[in-house]
Structure 1
Amino acid sequence: MSTLPPLREVIARHGLSASKALGQNFLFDEQLLDRIAALPGSLEGRRVLEIGPGPGGLTRALLRAGAQVTAIEMDQRCLPALAELGEAFPGKLEVIQGDALKLDHDEIMGSEPYAILSNLPYNVGTALFTRWMGGEEWPPLWTSLTLMFQQEVAQRIVAKPGVSAYGRLAVLAQWRGAAKLAMKVHRSAFTPPPKVMSAIVHVEPAAMPEGVSAKVLERVTEAAFGQRRKMLRQSLKGMPGAVEALEGIGIDPQRRAETLEVSDFVALARALS
C-alpha cells in the first residue's frame, strides 16, 4: 500500500465525483475502512464480492486484509482507478463492469463460498439485500454479508417486534439468519456527506426452519405488513386459509403484524406451505 497514492489524489487525478444518480458517497478514512474490512473476521485468502467499489476505498482495505476480491462496478468512470489498484495487487482483484442487480453473483464467484462486503449504493441496497436473503435454496454460497446502509434501513433489518422499524426486512433477515448492527458511521465520514446517518449490518446464514417455503413467508409478510395498522384478520384476508391458520397455531387474529415474533411468521408460513 505504500506505493499507492492517497485516494483523494487518485480521485482528483481521474476527475471523479460522487454520482447522486448512482447513489455514490465516497469514504476516505483508511482506519475506518480497515475496521469495516475486519468485521467478518480474518479475510486472509478468502474470496470477497464487493458491489459498487467506486474509486476503491473499501477495496483497498479488503486487499490490505489479504482478500481475493471480485468487484462489480457500474460506473465506467471508476474503472481506470480500480485498474491501478489491480496493478498494485497483482492477481488479487477482478473488476466486472455491469449492473449488480442483473448479474448472477454465484456464477461470477465460480459457485464457491464467498463473503460479501460492500458500501452499498443507497439506491440499490435494499433490492440487493432482499435478493441475497430470499429464494428457496439455503444455505447460500455467501458465508456472510457485511453491508453499509442508511441507518434507518439498517435498523429495520435488525429490529425486534413491537417497534416501528420492525417489518418485512427484519423477518427476512432473521428467520434463517443472524443479523446485528455492527457499526454506525457518521455522515461526516463521507464525501459528499449524505443527508442521513449510515450503519453497517452483519448477517450470517443460520439453519433454515423445516417445512417452510421462502416464497410463502414473503407473501405472508408482504400482506401482513402491507397494512400494518390493521388487525391480521383484515390484512391477511386476501390469503386463502391464512386467518384459519392463525387460529390453528394459537395466534389471535386481532393482533397486528408488528406484535408477532419472527417464529410466529415462520409457524404461519409453515401452516400455509
Structure 2
Amino acid sequence: MDDAELVIPSVGPDPIPFDTARAAVLGYARGRRPLHFRAPNARTGRWVEIPAFGYERFDCRPRSDGPLGEPDILTAEGLHGRLDPGPWAAMKAVLEDVGPLADAATERSAGRALQDLPDDEFSVLAEPGTVGATLRQIWQLASDTPDVSPKHVAAALHHRRPDLFPLLVRTTRWQLLPHVREGDSGPEAVIHRELRANAGAFAALESAVSPLALTALRLHDVLLWLSASLRLTHAVELGRAV
C-alpha cells in the first residue's frame, strides 16, 4: 500500500493520511488538558495542565523482569485506573496462571514482533499451540475469572512485550470483531493483517515518532482506540498544536 496513508478498516472506512496519523500519535503522547485543582487545605484552586491521555502513566513506565506480579498491576492501573482490593487480589492470582501462557507465546514468537509472524499463527487450522490460540486462551481465562479485569491483564502483558501482545479493551475488540474472517483465531488476526498490509506506513510512522519509543503494534492500538472512543479528532488537534 501507499506509505503516504494507512488503510486500517478497523479504524474506519477511509484511509488515514500519514500526517494525520502522526499528529494523532503526538497528540496522544504530548497533548495536555486543563484541570482545576484545589488542595484539601486550600480555600481556592488553580488551573493546571495535565496529560490528556495515558502515555506518560503507562508507556513511559520502566518494564519489569521476572514473573508477572504487583509491578505489572501498578502499570496496568496507570492506564485503566485503580482496582478495588478484591479485583486487585484476583488479578494478582490470575497472573500466576497467565504467566506460563504468556511465556509460551513469547517462546513461540522466537523474538519476532506480531506483524512478523506467519499467517498460520493466527489461523485455527494450525492450532493448537499457535500464538493466536494462546492469546485467545489468555483473554478467555481473564474474562472467565471472577473479579478480574481482562483489560488490565492485557495492559500488563503488552507493557512487558509491546511488540507481541495486543493492548485490547472491550471498545477496541468491538471495533475488530466485524472484521474477523472465517478461520481466524481471534481479533488479533485482524491486527496482524492490518499491520502487514500497512507495513511500510507503520515503519515510517514508528520512525517519525521514534522519540516516543512506540512499537508498530502500539501505534495501531493508539489509532484504533482513539477512533473507537471518538477521540481521534481531538488527538489530531492536540498533536498539531504541539
**TM surpasses 0.5:** no
Q: Which has the higher helix share?
A: 2
TM-score under structure 1 normalisation?
Answer: 0.23
For normalisation by structure 2, the TM-score amounts to: 0.25
More strand by share: 1
Larger-Rg structure: 1
User: Which is bigger in relative contact order (C-alpha 8 A, separation at least 6)?
Assistant: 2
